[in-house]
Structure 1
Amino acid sequence: MSFIRTVLGDIPPEQMGVTYSHEHIVCRPPYWVEKGEDDLLLDDPEKSKQDIQLFQRVGGQTIVDATAVDYGRDIAAVRHISEETGVHIIATAGFNKGFLWSAKRPGTDETFAAWIERSSIEDLTEFVVREVTEGMEGTTVRGGQVKFGTGYNRISPLEEKVLRAVARAHHETKAPVHSHTEVGTMALEQITLLKEEGVNLEYVSFGHMDRNPDPWLHLKIADTGAFLCFDGMGKIKYGPESTRIQCILELVKRGYEQHILISGDTARKSYYRHYGYGLGLGYILEQWVPRFKAEAEEAGFNGDRLIEAFFVHNPARCFAFKQ
């Protein structure tokens, strides 16, 4: 038996429906607060809710909120948005990446780095397990996935420490695992460490795969059984949509359509429709999906079937707790 853990409770996987696999809804990352980077603060729950409603109007049903503790979660606000809209939201336990850890933990004089440094792997594992089994930020809202991340072309000792703690929390809770890869790098190195921890890669999704549009790398990752999250749709500064679509279709050609997830990683005010007049949470379903289907059909594939896989069937497998 398997289930999906949302901020409002556990649901059967078949209730997820159309799913974005990596977004941010309400967050005030301490690192960016200290830097004065207002664009990276999604700090108005009402505006976030309006974009969630836009997503809902175009057929969206579930969002995976990849905001971890070091990225300034506001789990109470996210729960309230889910209650008001009826959109299922999956929250994230664990951590993000190393450079964020120079900031102070809210309510303390200690940085995240100092906390992670003084904590044992067992201590960090226990923290992540509690976030999945008891609740986050003093609430009863439990995490629906566990997350770790690494830097650009490097894995620091603290990042490795967190990776191992998250892997062990996965074993204890059966929660699915999500990896942040900076600019799509270090996934294979992460896989080596995850294998050392005995993690079955079929429980893992790797984020930002379109930031590193390398078909050879994508095939190596897919061959492990892991999921690849192409989560930069609409971010043309990182590359055109044609590049993303060709990388996805290359995986499909090799028989890996069941390993692909799609999302937008919408983490700036300027990306949101109701904060900064950006493309918003409706863009992927309204504009990207029709284009992808057309290009898939031109390449000889069934576009409707692929979209059903990427947005419905694959997320239902990827984000399930399997008992």
Structure 2
Amino acid sequence: MIDDSGYTYVHEHLHIDLSPQKGDVDCKLDQYDLIKEELLQLKSRGVFNIVEVTNRFMGRNHHFIEDLINDTGINILLSTGYYIDGFFPPELHSKSVREISNEMIGEIENGIAGSSLKASLIGEIGTSENTFTDTEKKVFEAAAYAHLETGRPISTHQSMSSLGHQQVKWLKQHGIDMNKVTIGHCDLKDNLDDILWLIDQGCFVQFDTIGKNSYYPDAKRLDMLEALSERGYLERVMLSMDITRRSHLKENGGLGFCYLIDKFIPMMRDRGISQQEIDTMLKHNPIQLFG
């Protein structure tokens, strides 16, 4: 699953289209040549794996991903599931938990329709900001059943770093081993106590919006990582950038996929975070979770 000789970005999108819901063509990330070039640059820096968390009804495009794999040689793990309310297909609200679970299991065991690819994880499944809707709970319950049947890990989405507690409690109620769960978007507000609690439950946490300074400044992300380092907690932290827009790409004036390697890693070193800890977050932890 994971190429264990290199680093892994654990929460990315290589083809995503949320433009219908957001009314903004910038939210249609589909510029193949630009993305291919950035992946080649990433690979030259030692990033050999991308966990692609675009799932059903988010604009997932398996042909696009197949071409990227063939043209770059980078290892891409695909996801199954549904995102958050407001981005669900209308029919999802009337589907049963078992129907949704069977869809997930099918994409893991039999493959994504029309492609040579199988889903490697269940994600990104999410909660709305400060609200865990009934349909979102249904998706989480379906994910729990799919995980228990397939053993594949679960990757979540927290809207603005909210409701991680509720996600964990809901998954625990359905018998999930937290060692197989990673909680996404933990780095969008001052919430060190929440992150410590999540890690103490046994799950992984993601600092996966690195570079999105308009949401939360990287300086504060570094403050929290430094605090986690001092407590010896980085063995449960993983890193990524969550690039979702055309404007995030380097050629379009954005930071680009390489920012984490080229800029953020040196900033971590300046804060006293060791190379061993950096390797733990970008290499060893993803191997442990995604296998």
DSSP 3-state at the match of 1:68: coil
Unaligned 5+ segments in structure 2 are none
> Is the Cα contact below 8 Å between 1:207 and 1:229 reproduced in 2?
yes
1:255 is the counterpart of 2:232: yes
> Is the Cα contact below 8 Å between 1:185 and 1:212 reproduced in 2?
no
DSSP 3-state at the match of 2:60: coil
**CA deviation string 1:194-241 (max 9, x = no partner):** 011100011001111001321110000000111110011111112221
1:203 is the counterpart of 2:183: no
* Separation of aligned partners in 2, 1:70 and 1:224: 31
> Is the Cα contact below 8 Å between 2:21 and 2:87 reproduced in 1?
no
1:34 CA displacement: 5.3
Corresponding letter in the other structure for 1:318: L
1:250 CA displacement: 1.6
1:277 is the counterpart of 2:253: yes
2:283 is aligned to: 312
2:70 is aligned to: 83
* Separation of aligned partners in 2, 1:278 and 1:84: 23
Corresponding letter in the other structure for 2:48: Q
> Is the Cα contact below 8 Å between 2:185 and 2:209 reproduced in 1?
yes
* Separation of aligned partners in 1, 2:83 and 2:22: 18
> Is the Cα contact below 8 Å between 2:189 and 2:216 reproduced in 1?
no
Alignment of 1:1-323 (within 5 A): 4=1, 14-15=4-5, 17-29=6-18, 32-33=19-20, 35-101=22-88, 112=89, 114-147=90-123, 148-274=125-251, 276-296=252-272, 301=273, 303-320=274-291
Unaligned 5+ segments in structure 1 are 5-10, 102-111
* Separation of aligned partners in 1, 2:218 and 2:23: 31
**CA deviation string 1:67-124 (max 9, x = no partner):** 11121101111121011111111111111111212xxxxxxxxxx1x31122110000
1:104 is aligned to: none
* Separation of aligned partners in 2, 1:69 and 1:213: 31
**CA deviation string 1:223-262 (max 9, x = no partner):** 0111110011111112221110111122222221110001
Q: Which moved more, 1:129-138 or 1:177-186?
A: 129-138
1:8 is aligned to: none
* Separation of aligned partners in 1, 2:140 and 2:277: 32
1:106 is aligned to: none
**CA deviation string 1:251-297 (max 9, x = no partner):** 222221110001100111111113x121101111011101111112x
* Separation of aligned partners in 1, 2:116 and 2:45: 31
Q: Which moved more, 1:155-164 or 1:36-45?
A: 36-45
| TM-score, structure 2 as length reference | 0.96
> Is the Cα contact below 8 Å between 1:136 and 1:143 reproduced in 2?
yes
* Separation of aligned partners in 2, 1:200 and 1:27: 30
> Is the Cα contact below 8 Å between 2:178 and 2:201 reproduced in 1?
yes
DSSP 3-state at the match of 1:136: coil
> Is the Cα contact below 8 Å between 2:21 and 2:86 reproduced in 1?
no
> Is the Cα contact below 8 Å between 1:176 and 1:318 reproduced in 2?
yes
1:35 CA displacement: 4.5
Q: How many residues align?
A: 290
1:193 CA displacement: 0.7
* Separation of aligned partners in 2, 1:25 and 1:51: 10
1:140 CA displacement: 2.9
DSSP 3-state at the match of 1:210: coil
> Is the Cα contact below 8 Å between 1:26 and 1:48 reproduced in 2?
no
* Separation of aligned partners in 2, 1:272 and 1:45: 11
Say what the alpha-carbon RMSD is for the aligned residues.
1.3
* Separation of aligned partners in 2, 1:83 and 1:180: 29
* Separation of aligned partners in 2, 1:212 and 1:94: 26
> Is the Cα contact below 8 Å between 2:154 and 2:181 reproduced in 1?
yes
* Separation of aligned partners in 2, 1:222 and 1:48: 33
DSSP 3-state at the match of 2:145: helix
Corresponding letter in the other structure for 1:46: D
* Separation of aligned partners in 1, 2:93 and 2:244: 28
| TM-score, structure 1 as length reference | 0.87
* Separation of aligned partners in 1, 2:188 and 2:104: 28
